[in-house]
Amino acid sequence: AEIHTLRALAGAGFVADGSGANWRLLEEWRNLPGTSLYAWCQEHWTTINNTSQPYYPSEADILDPGTPFVPILEVPDNGLLVDYVSADEMIQVFEDNWPGGALEAPRVWSIGYHPPNFSETYKSRIHGALSHADQFLASEDRGPAVYATMSDLALVWPVPTR
């Protein structure tokens, strides 16, 4: 997404976007012939990494949480999509965001998938990552993990007052 896309999404009533990609986890795509995924994500999402957290992007720079801002929460896909990473890589991002103990503030571990090509391989990967997170569910007093939708995250990170 670019700023004009985020403005359009916000204007249409969307409250969150998950375009920000943790390009560092796309290393297998770095020099793959006929693709530009790695280079494009590296260029456009240069600051996104394993511990990137939600923010409201500035009107001037999609990577900058400054003001004036676009009123849509950018939720970086810090754990990327199962299409591109292993369960172990997603688990590492989980652990990077929660090394144990009490959290001082909410943290997001974002993973996902592309529905049109969801396969048994991808199902196994996401099952492995989610099974790890399930060991730390807040609902069972075992940790901070709470499953949430993107819309829910806009309630945790409300639009700042201008």
Question: Are 17 and 77 contacting, i.e. CB atoms less than 8 angstroms apart?
Answer: no
Sign of CA dihedral 66, 69, 71, 74: negative
Task: Share the mean pLDDT of the chain.
Answer: 95
Residue 131 in this model has a pLDDT that exceeds 90: yes
Helix or strand run (H / E) with residue 12: none
Share of the chain above pLDDT 90, in %: 91
Residue 94 in this model has a pLDDT that exceeds 80: yes
Q: What is the mean pLDDT of residues 15-26?
A: 96
Tell me: the pLDDT tens digits for 102-120? 999 999 999 988 888 899 9
Task: Place 89 in a pLDDT band, splitting at 50, 70 and 90.
Answer: very high
Residue 136 in this model has a pLDDT that exceeds 70: yes
Residue 162 in this model has a pLDDT that exceeds 70: no
> What gap in Å lies between CA 21 and CA 41, rounded to an integer?
7
Residue 15 in this model has a pLDDT that exceeds 90: yes
Which residues sit opposite 73 in a β-bridge?
A: 16
> What gap in Å lies between CA 79 and CA 104, rounded to an integer?
21
> What pLDDT does 19 receive?
94
| Sequence-separated (6 or more) residues with CB below 8 Å from residue 157 | 54, 55, 56, 73, 106
Q: What is the mean pLDDT of residues 125-152?
A: 97
Tell me: the pLDDT tens digits for 25-79? 999 999 999 999 999 999 999 999 999 999 999 999 999 998 999 999 999 999 9
> What pLDDT does 149 receive?
95
**SS3 of 14-55:** CCEECCCECHHHHHHHCCCCCCCHHHHHHHHCCCCCCCCCCE
